[in-house]
């Protein structure tokens, strides 16, 4: 009976969604805004990666909201799992095997460099603060897997989180000081395609990368610690 209900539900849903989306103009989007942005991005923002121009320039407020959502999730996760240490569940897990530990030692600096590279080149190549931030978080999470008894400092993570978020907003507020609207890109556009170009975008992405990295690390760390190894 339950299987039948599942099947009916599935069939109905497939039919509904297929009927709704079936005739959408796939492959030939109207691109009302997209076209305009493609033409305007080069002179207005100066980032070779148009997606970055959209993420940090045209839709910068979305990105701020997104950072705030990650922050809210990390804070809420802290509220949910925060009580663990207080309960004193202190049975540390044993250290991982040799391969994982040695691999971690080799990978950690490489991941760090790769993450920072992806963050800093976000306005030129595919990648950026979010992608790079995830790599950074992975870099800091690996040692946690290898040596569960050690851990990062929550205080430092929250300081990085707070400062990076503040920096993003401060860069946005800087535009207000100039008399522009919030989040208007600052500084000179520079040479198109150079590393130091497109104004304040690389700085914004650096803040995003640090914040994402710190937040994901602290989320992962809380989840991992609740798995039995409170520091």
Partner 1 sequence: MTDVSLAAVLPLLGAFVLPLTRHGILRPLGPVIGPILLAACALILFAAWSAYDVPYAVALGSFAPPMGITFYIDDLALLFALAVPLTTLVLWPGESDPAATGRQSLTLLLAGSLTGLALSGDLFNVYVFYELAAVASYGLVVGDGRSPAYVAAFRYLMISALGSVVGLIGIAIIYFKTGTLNLADLSTLSGELADPQGMAAFAMLVIGFGVKAEAFPVNGWVPEVYGAVGKRVAALLAGLASKLAVLVIVRILILVFPHDETRQLLLVLGILGVAVGELAAWQARDIPRMLAWSSIGQLGVVFVAFSLPGKAGVIAGVTVAMHHLVVKSALFLLADRWDRAIESLKGAASTSRIGAALFVLFSLSLLGLPPLPGFWSKFLVLGGLAASASPLQLLAMGTILAGTVIEGAYLLRVVVTFYARPDAAVRVPGQRAGNLLGAGLFALVLLTAAVMINPLWQGLEVLAERAVDTNGYQHTVLGDREAGR
Partner 2 sequence: MSTSVGLVFFIGAIGLCVIGITGIVLSRHLFRMVLALAIAEAGANLLLILAGYRWDAVAPIFTGTAGGQAMVDPVPQAMVLTAIVIGVGVQALALSLVIRIKERYGTLDMQEARQCMQDDLDDAGGVTPSRSRERPAGERPIPAPTVLNSTGGQHD
Of 95, 225, 88, nearest to 147 by C-alpha is 95
Instruction: Measure the CA–CA gap between 140 and 160, rounded to whole angstroms.
Output: 14
Residue 8 interacts, among partner 1, partner 2, none and using kind-specific CB cut-offs from 5 to 8 Å, with none
Does 188 bind partner 2 (CB under 8 A)? Our answer is no
User: In the range 115-174, which residues lie near partner 1 by CB under 8 A?
Assistant: 155, 158-159, 161-163, 165-166, 169, 172-173
Buried b (16+ CB within 10 A) or exposed e, 167-193: bbeebbebbeeeeeeebbbbbebeeee
How many angstroms separate the first and last alpha carbons of the chain? Answer: 49
Could you say which of partner 1, partner 2, none residue 40 binds, taking C-beta under 5 to 8 angstroms by partner kind?
partner 1
Radius of gyration of the chain measured on its C-alpha atoms: 22
- Which residues of the chain form contacts with partner 2 (CB under 8 A)? 5-6, 9-10, 13-14, 17-18, 21-22, 24, 26-29, 31, 33-34, 37-38, 41-42, 48-51, 53-55, 58-59, 62-63, 65-66, 69-70, 72-74, 76-77, 80-81, 89, 91, 124-126, 130, 145, 192-193, 212, 216, 219, 222-224, 226-228
């Amino acid at each position: 009976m339950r299987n039948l209900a599942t099947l009916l539900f599935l069939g109905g849903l497939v039919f509904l969604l297929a009927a709704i989306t079936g005739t959408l103009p796939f492959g030939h989007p109207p691109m009302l805004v997209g076209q305009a942005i493609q033409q305007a991005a080069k002179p207005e923002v100066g980032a070779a990666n148009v997606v970055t121009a959209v993420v940090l320039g045209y839709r910068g407020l979305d990105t701020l909201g997104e950072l705030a959502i990650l922050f809210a999730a990390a804070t809420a996760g802290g509220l949910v799992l925060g009580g663990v240490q207080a309960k004193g569940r202190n049975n540390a897990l044993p250290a991982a095997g040799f391969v994982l530990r040695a691999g971690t030692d080799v990978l950690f600096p490489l991941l760090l460099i790769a993450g920072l590279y992806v963050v800093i080149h976000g306005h030129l190549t595919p990648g950026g603060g979010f992608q790079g931030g995830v790599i950074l978080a992975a870099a800091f999470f690996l040692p946690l897997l290898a040596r569960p008894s050690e851990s990062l400092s929550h205080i430092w993570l929250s300081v990085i989180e707070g400062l990076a978020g503040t920096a993003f907003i401060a860069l946005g507020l800087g535009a207000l000081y100039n008399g522009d609207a919030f989040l208007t890109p600052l500084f000179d556009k520079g040479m198109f395609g150079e590393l130091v170009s497109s104004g304040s975008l690389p700085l914004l992405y650096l803040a995003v990368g640090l914040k994402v990295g710190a937040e994901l690390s602290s989320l992962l760390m809380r989840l991992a610690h609740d798995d039995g190894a409170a520091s």
